[in-house]
A and B are shown apart, each in its own frame.
Chain A
Amino acid sequence: MLRYRFLFEQMVRRELRQKYKGSALGVLWYLINPLVLMGAYALVFSVLLRVADVPDYPLFLLVGLIVWVFFSQALLAAAPSLVQNSALVRKVRFPREAIPASVATVQMVTFLVMLAVATVVALVVRGTFGPALLLLVPIVALLFCFVLGLSLAVSVLHAHYRDVEPVLGAALLPWFFVTPIFLRAEDLPGVADREWLGDLLQWANPIAPFVDAVRLVLYAGASPGAGHLAYIAVAGVVALGGGLMLFRRMERDLAVML
């Protein structure tokens, strides 16, 4: 595997080049996207609907949005990646995991840039500098494992069943709305008298604890609880292990079916 480290580096470069080719703003586009979303949702929820009574609401939104945008963009880009690289899969022997992994990694790079921006803003606006900030490193690493594992799974599933990508595209929008990004799950007005609903929103959706953990550290300057961190660790490891296992099982005949 070590032998292919250089391959992985090259594949990431290739992916980056393809993604940003011909766009004058390049990587900036990917930074603008969450900012535009942030502006729109802040307007709707804070100004127009007045349901969000949260200090520095745009920053609160931004931290959740960048995690979501990373998660959804990586899956949407990874799903068709094997099919798009069919010439490579059919004609060269190399570890095919490198294809969805490089796609997820490129999204990760964009995410890290966005996260750095958000961190600086949070430190200035919220003054959240403290030891909890160190937790960001393992949380982000586990988030990457989680996204990488799912990326491997959807890419190989899509190669076998070509409607995985459209199904995913259709599922991500409602998924976005049930993920506690606009407000923390326990702060939702409809959850006040039904605690189980808040727990359901928070823990049945595996991306929600990641969103909440990053937000706790950056926005609130607080540390997630031990149970919360354990959940994230298990989710990251299980997704990566399961994704790899599924990929290895289903990649056998890729060269023939693509």
Chain B
Amino acid sequence: MSGRGLVRGQVVLEHATRTFRVRQDRSRTLKELLVRRGQGSSHASVEALRDVSLRIEPGEAVGLVGRNGAGKSSTLACLAGIVPLDSGRAECGGRVITLLELGAGFGPDFSGRENIYLNGALHGFGREEIEARLDDIIAFSELGRFIDLPVKVYSSGMFLRLGFSIAAHLDADIMLIDEILAVGDESFQRKCFARISERMQAGATLVLVSHDPSAIERVCRRVVVLDGGGVAFDGDVTEGLLHYHRLLGTETGASRGARPGEGPGLEVSELELLDADGRSRSAYRPGEALTVWMRLRATGEADRAVAALEVRSERGELCFRTDAALGTVEGEVEVSFEIARLVLLQGSYDVAVGAAAQDAPTGRLLERLTRLVVTGTEGGEGIADLRGSWTVAGRAGAQEALR
């Protein structure tokens, strides 16, 4: 949808409001319509967007973060013009390309090459425009001979390669991308981010929804934190991600409006993950030893100081939280949290730490964030290695079952 009065690449949301009715039973039938007519409706309603105003200028990259149900995907769908607003205005200047779901808009029986045409056509591009970019798209996707096989045989990684390659090469003015890049491997991700930067230098605008703070940090200078359908924070990316993290830490989800550096005279100035040899690194294998090391700086004398540490999965679920009383802190101190054996299993985790005087509410504590990547499949699947062992008793031949 090209909005009138908007510059190419500009995105505007003005007092956008959208309420969804949630039905018990998804599909309506005629009988229900006839029988329920005139009766009070049994719908619960959810305010997905509540008076959201945003203005994004051409060439900007904005990350949208928020907890599940905060309105991130709804915002993208409204911007893309897929979901209409109840009131307010949502407009994009120029051509928009969306990447909201892997494989949406692909014909499963079409080859990768044919799907490039189909997908381009869905975004309003003509044959010549697509043909002019076909070779670049295929080369970027690294699909090789798979490009001529039907996409139903593709892995999710291959879907991503194709989907992203199309989106990144069709030269749209605005790219709306939802939580997708996480599927690709590290080297392809790097390539994607490089291509996104290239497109932005050419004046394209990016709105990226992700649960992965590192992905947001890599491309976005600005971040918008959504909570309960409203904008809880809009500004610099580092500050915004901390805000997001603090939001995850609060039970009710109501924004407390705390800002880093407001703690009474105590802050974390450095944070590192150290391995058994004392070297700083962020990738570990399950079962390895690991120390979370931080340097605290007190301005003056901080009484009854506490340090807190929190580990969350990529999706924002709390895995572990702890805090410790440090007594009185003066000047600089180093605090370590030692983990003899890492029980976390494969995945990406956020480690957040903070420090404050005792009377500060814990929700405000967390102010520094680092990423912990656990690689390797030993130890089982899931979040944590429960370190149990199997035994079978009371049955002949039981040992066989255990292999």
- Residues on A lying within 8 angstroms of B by beta carbon are 3-4, 6-7, 9-11, 13-14, 17-18, 21, 87-94, 160-164, 167, 252-253, 255-256
Contacts and interface: CB of A to CB of B under 8 A. Distances in A.
Contact of A4 (B82, B105, B124): B124
A164 B20 CA distance: 24
B339 interface: no
Interface string B81-117: 1111000000000001010110111011110001001
Nearest to B31: A163
A253 B43 CA distance: 16
A252 B82 contact: no
Chain B contact residues, majority secondary structure: loop
Interface stretch (B22-30, B199-207, B238-246, B365-373): B22-30
Contact of B107 (A3, A18, A93): A18
A238 to B, nearest CB: 24
Nearest to A253: B84
Contacts of B77: 90, 255
B29 A162 contact: yes
B105 A88 contact: yes
A3 B124 contact: yes
Contacts of A93: 1, 80-82, 96, 98
Nearest to A7: B121
B33 interface: yes
B121 A10 contact: yes
Interface of B: 1, 20, 27-31, 33, 77, 80-84, 96, 98, 100-101, 103-105, 107-110, 114, 117-118, 121-127
Contacts of B103: 87
Contacts of B82: 89-93, 255
A92 B33 contact: no
Contacts of B100: 90-92
B20 A256 contact: yes
Given A10-B118, A92-B122, 12 more contacts: A6-B126, A10-B117, A11-B118, A87-B103, A87-B105, A88-B122, A90-B77, A90-B104, A92-B98, A93-B96, A255-B82, A256-B20
Nearest to B21: A256
B236 to A, nearest CB: 31
A14 B1 contact: no
A7 B127 contact: no
B28 A161 contact: yes
The 7 closest A-B pairs by CB, nearest first: A91-B104, A7-B121, A14-B107, A162-B27, A10-B121, A91-B100, A91-B101
Contacts of A89: 82
A17 B110 contact: yes
B345 to A, nearest CB: 31
Contacts of B108: 18
A6 B20 CA distance: 34
Contact of A163 (B30, B80, B84, B104): B30
Contacts of A4: 121, 124
Nearest to A252: B84
B124 A7 contact: yes
Contacts of B122: 7, 10, 88, 92, 94
18 contacts: A3-B126, A6-B127, A10-B117, A14-B109, A14-B118, A21-B109, A89-B82, A90-B101, A90-B104, A91-B104, A91-B105, A92-B104, A93-B82, A93-B96, A161-B28, A162-B29, A164-B30, A255-B82
B109 A17 contact: yes
A4 B77 CA distance: 21
A88 B101 CA distance: 9
Nearest to A167: B30
A253 B1 CA distance: 17
A4, A92, A161, A167 pick with most chain B CB within 10 angstroms: A92
A110 B109 CA distance: 20
